[in-house]
């Protein structure tokens, strides 16, 4: 299994209306690796995803995609106006795919029986699967999944995470996943990035959940990945370090 960086971010900054949202983000997303992005609301997760997708440009810093990068994207939530008559199969075909490829993808996510159903009639879990099917449809080598289990019950969440793990393995693609529940994705995650406008900590799940920065944000109970957090964040996410005790860790290069 070859492992090369699919996309590299180097000191990326982004602000909206002069309010910094992301500061000094450097990371590499590798082929065949699942990276989970966690962070509180307003941490800039969605902004980071949009930068990586190329939907917005950074204010400064470099985002370098691999020459063979092909992204499959699963958006956070999707609502299609009921006035648009469109079947699940047709929804997939919008990604420039053949009828047979659509059926194959629906088969892989286990909802081939819903191909002819109007997309608006799908349940929360079924819709997420349809979105996942569209993401894998064009045989991508990089999947970007923005909160893939939103609106799905707990059993369904486990099944969906398991499916994502299996699909990424069989397609040998890299995965970037935004998630709130690290305890569920832990086992399938190679790298965790804890974001709060800057990268607070990153590493293997076991490391990150023991990291005080992680515990600080998410609490001890869900902590499985860890790092040592010696500073506090203001409500805006800036580092508060009045005692000057914060030591910059490896890969930690915020102000």
| Interface contacts to another protein, rule CB under 8 A | 50, 53-55, 71, 73, 75, 78, 80-81, 83-87, 90-91, 94-96, 118, 120-121, 134, 138, 144
Distance (Å, whole) CA 57 – CA 234: 26
Least separation in angstroms between CB 94 and another protein = 5
Biggest alpha carbon distance in the chain? Answer: 62
Least separation in angstroms between CB 42 and another protein = 17
With respect to another protein, which residue has the nearer C-beta, 148 or 205?
148
CB 128 within 8 A of CB 147: no
Spatial CA neighbour of 194 closest among 182, 183, 32, 30:
182
Least separation in angstroms between CB 117 and another protein = 8
Spatial CA neighbour of 26 closest among 208, 251, 248, 255:
251
CB 35 within 8 A of CB 190: yes
Taking the CA atoms of the chain, what radius of gyration do you get in angstroms? 19
Least separation in angstroms between CB 90 and another protein = 7
What would the two tokens of residue 223 be? 């902590």
Residue 183 CA: distances (Å) to CA of 37, 144, 169, 192, 223: 13, 20, 20, 12, 7
With respect to another protein, which residue has the nearer C-beta, 28 or 50?
50
With respect to another protein, which residue has the nearer C-beta, 50 or 246?
50
With respect to another protein, which residue has the nearer C-beta, 73 or 218?
73
With respect to another protein, which residue has the nearer C-beta, 81 or 250?
81
Q: Is 54 left (phi over 0), alpha (psi -120 to 50) or beta?
A: left
Least separation in angstroms between CB 67 and another protein = 16
Distance (Å, whole) CA 127 – CA 4: 32
With respect to another protein, which residue has the nearer C-beta, 37 or 71?
71
Q: At 7, which helix (H) or strand (E)?
A: strand 5-16
What would the two tokens of residue 188 be? 């399938």
Least separation in angstroms between CB 131 and another protein = 8
Least separation in angstroms between CB 177 and another protein = 16
Spatial CA neighbour of 36 closest among 203, 198, 211:
203
Q: Look up residue 44 and give its DSSP letter.
A: S
With respect to another protein, which residue has the nearer C-beta, 134 or 198?
134
């Amino acid at each position: 299994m070859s492992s090369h960086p699919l996309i590299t971010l180097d000191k990326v900054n982004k602000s909206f209306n002069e309010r910094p949202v992301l500061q000094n983000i450097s990371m590499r997303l590798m082929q065949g690796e699942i990276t989970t992005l966690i962070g509180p609301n307003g941490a800039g997760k969605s902004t980071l995803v949009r930068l990586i997708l190329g939907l917005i440009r950074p204010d400064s810093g470099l985002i370098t995609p691999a020459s063979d990068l092909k992204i499959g994207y699963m958006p956070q939530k999707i609502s299609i106006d009921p006035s648009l008559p469109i079947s699940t199969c047709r929804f997939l075909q919008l990604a420039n795919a053949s009828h047979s490829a659509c059926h194959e993808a629906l088969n892989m996510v286990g909802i081939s029986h819903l191909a002819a159903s109007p997309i608006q009639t799908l349940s929360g879990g079924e819709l997420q699967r349809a979105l996942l099917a569209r993401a894998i449809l064009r045989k991508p080598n990089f999947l970007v999944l923005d909160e893939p289990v939103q609106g799905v019950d707990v059993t369904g969440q486990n099944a969906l995470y398991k499916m994502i793990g299996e699909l990424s393995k069989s397609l040998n693609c890299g995965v970037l996943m935004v998630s709130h529940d690290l305890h569920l994705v832990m086992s399938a995650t190679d790298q965790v990035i804890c974001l709060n406008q800057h990268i607070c900590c990153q590493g293997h799940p076991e490391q990150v959940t023991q990291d005080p920065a992680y515990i600080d944000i998410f609490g001890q109970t869900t902590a499985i990945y860890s790092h040592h957090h010696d500073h506090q964040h203001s409500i805006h996410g800036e580092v508060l370090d009045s005692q000057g005790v914060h030591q910059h860790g490896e890969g930690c290069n915020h102000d």
